[in-house]
Chains A and B, each alone.
Chain A
C-alpha cells in the first residue's frame, strides 16, 4: 500500500507525501529551494498526462514538467 510511485502517476485530487527526488544535484536543489523537500505533503491539482502537473505545495501552486514528475517519488497518505 505504501509503495513508491512517481508523481507523474498521481491523479488530480490525491494527496501524497514526497519521499525522494531521483535526480541530479541541480534539480534536487532547485525543487528544495521552492519547498519540495522529502516529507512534504502535496496535493495534485491538475494533471494531463503526459503534460505538466499542477500541485499545491505549502499553500502555493507549482507547475512541474512531466519529466520532472517522473523523478519525484511519492507515497499515498
Chain B
C-alpha cells in the first residue's frame, strides 16, 4: 500500500492556490483572476514516487483569526486535522503582505513549506529574492515557482515528501511579545497544559496567545473548561 500524505494548500487570496492544486492533482478546478474563488475546501489526490498524496485546497485568507467563515475553514483544517505538510502559496511580487500569513502558520506549529509563486512577476519588477536566506530566516523550506506555467511543481512535491517524512525540520516559530504579555502567556499556558484534551489537540502557547487576543472561536472552546 502506498503511504498516504495529507497536504494543505494555504495562502492569501489570488496567490495561485488553485493553480498549484490543479498542477499537483491534474484537476480542473475553476481558477479565476480575482480573490475569493475558493470558499470551501476542495480535495484532490496524486501519486508521486510511491506516495499517495491527498491535496486539500483551502480558501484564501490574509490571516488566521476567526473573522469570516473562510478563515475558520482554513484554520480549523490546519489546527485540527494536522496535515503532514502545509504549503503556503505566496505571491513573490507582494512578499511583505504575504509573509504575514506564513509567520502565523509557523506560530501555529504547522509543518510549513513556502511556495514562492509568481517568480516571473517578481523578476519583471526587478525584485531579487534571496530564497535560501528567506528559508533560513523562516526555518522552513522555500520553493520558487511559476504555477501558471507549471514550473516548480516537481520541486514542491519533493519538499512535501521531505517535510512529511520529517527529513527536513520545520521549526515552530516563537515570537516574543514582550515581558508583560509573555508573563500572561506563561500563566495561561500552565493552566491550559492541565487540560489533557485541549493540550493534546492544540499547542498550549498558541491557544494562550489567541485567548489574550480575544479570539471568539477559541474563547468558545474554553466555555466548558474548568480551570484549576
- Please report A residues at the B interface, Cβ cutoff 8 Å: 25-26, 29-30, 33-35, 57-60
Contact = CB atoms under 8 A, between A and B. Distances in A.
Given A25-B214, A33-B100, A59 B67 contact: no
Interface stretch (B90-98, B153-161, B169-177, B180-188): B90-98
A26 B96 contact: no
The DSSP consensus for interface residues of chain A is mixed
B202 interface: no
Interface residues of B, number: 12
A29 B67 contact: yes
Contact of A29 (B65, B96, B97, B100): B65
B62 A33 contact: yes
Contacts of A30: 62, 67
Nearest to A25: B214
Contacts, number: 28
Interface string B211-228: 000100000000000000
A26 B216 CA distance: 11
Contacts of B214: 25
B63 interface: yes
Nearest to A60: B94
Nearest to B213: A29
A58 B65 CA distance: 21
Central interface residue in A30, A35, A58, A60, by most chain B CB within 10 Å? A60
Interface in B63-94: 63, 65, 67, 91, 93-94
B67 A58 contact: no
A58 B62 contact: no
A59 B94 contact: yes
Given A35-B96, A59-B93, A59-B94, 4 more contacts: A29-B63, A33-B65, A60-B91, A60-B97
Given A26-B67, A29-B67, A34 B93 contact: no
